[in-house]
Amino acid sequence: MPEVLVSDNGAQLTSDVFERFCESNGITHLRTAPFHPQSNGLAERFVDTFKRTMKKIQAGGEDLEQAIDTFLLCYRSTPSRNAPGGKSPAEILFGKTLRTAFELMRPPSKFYKDVNSKQASQYNEKHGAKTKCFEVKDKVYAQVHHGNDWSWVPGEVVERIGQVMYNIWLPDRQRLIRCHGNQLRKRYDTSSSPPEVIGPQVPLEILLDTWSLNPSSSGAAVETVEPPAEPEGLDELQLEFLRSLMEPDQQRRRLRTPVRQPELEEVIQRRSSRQRRAPVRYEPYQLY
């Protein structure tokens, strides 16, 4: 609220209700002399500026509402030598300049690009994020949403848009979709029209891509244990007797084999060493 209010002697400004309002809010109300507009020069100067500007704008063919909007934008974004620091009314009110068409005359600033790149590198380093890059004609699995569900659908990269956006062609559905890099997984199947994966099933390629494994190195060597060779020259009854003797021995070996229990780590209670302090609030009043 203002500290001093200068107005004319209108009935709405001299009423008892308005006087009580100014008194309760600590506003000093000054009234000018009747029929002497020079006493309130700021208001009269604004009225003169508004009338002359509206005539010039309407001369260009704009309607009344558009002319008022144009005037307010120009008036509030124009610096004034009478304002503190020579700033515009909008800069004094909001603490920053309004972006108008004149901003296009300045070269683009590299500050925001550097800040965004630093934030992205810090986030990737903290969370272990890796960059994904797909080339045109790469075989991929695309995350396609339908309703409240989604599924992995095989597709092919058609075009790369920017750093992380891609146009994907789905041959099974004969449609073109746009996907983010996080919605794509590499597909190592070289077939032209692989079957569509629907539901909770996850292709092997997606699991390999999630754990950063290659298809060639994914196959683990499985050691096969062949059963002992049976002695030759025995009849069926003797062989059956030997099998009956060997089965309990194998069972005893399985029972004697100790089962390795997972070691339970001791839970250590950790407390943050961050220094806590009360937040700094805005203080619009002066404390004495």
CATH hierarchy code of domain 139-214: 2.30.30
d(CA 269, CA 257): 36
Map 69-103 to HEC letters.
Answer: HHHHHHHHHCCCCCCHHHCCHHHHHHCCCCCCHHH
Map 192-261 to HEC letters.
Answer: CCCCCCCCCCCCHHHHHHHCCCCHHHHCCCCCCCCCCCCCCCCCHHHHHHHHHHHHHHHHHHHHHCCCCC
pLDDT in tens, the chain (288 residues): 889 999 988 899 999 999 999 999 999 999 998 888 888 888 888 899 999 999 999 888 888 999 999 999 999 999 988 888 889 999 999 988 888 888 888 887 766 666 677 877 787 778 777 778 899 999 999 999 988 899 999 999 999 998 889 999 999 889 999 999 889 998 886 554 444 544 445 566 666 666 566 655 545 444 444 555 555 556 676 667 666 655 655 555 555 555 566 666 666 777 777 777 777 666 655 555
* Cα torsion 238, 241, 245, 250: sign: positive
Q: What angle do CA 34, 36, 37 make, to 5 degrees?
A: 115
Domain spans of the chain?
32-105, 139-214
Burial class (CB in 10 A: 0-12, 13-18, 19+), 187: buried
d(CA 277, CA 228): 73
